[in-house]
Amino acid sequence: MGLWCTSMGVGGWIVMAATWAAVLSLVVWVVCRLFPAAKDRDPRAALDVRLASGEIDTETYRSLRAELDGLESHRAEGQR
C-alpha cells in the first residue's frame, strides 16, 4: 500500500497548486468587485464628519477649516 503523498507525480502537484491559485485569485477578484474600496472624501467633508462624531471640538474645527481654506487658496494661486 502506497503513501497518500506518492500517488501524484510532480505534474499533478503543479496542476493542483495552479488550480488552487486560480480559485483563490477568482475569490479575491469577486470580493473586490462586490465590495469596492471607498472613494476618497473631500477634506472638508472628512472634517465635518469628525466634528459631527465628537472627535474634535468646534474650536479645533474652526482652526482646521481656516487652514484648509488657506491651503486651497494657495493652490488656486499656484495654478494661475
In this prediction, residue 9 carries a pLDDT of 78
In this prediction, residue 48 carries a pLDDT of 92
In this prediction, residue 74 carries a pLDDT of 66
Residues of the chain with pLDDT under 50: 1
In this prediction, residue 80 carries a pLDDT of 56
Helix (H, G, I), strand (E, B) or coil at 20: helix
CA–CA separation, 62 vs 27, rounded Å? 45
**Closest residue by Cα to residue 71 from 43, 52, 40, 39:** 43
Residue boundaries of the structural domains of the chain: 4-34, 43-79
In this prediction, residue 30 carries a pLDDT of 97
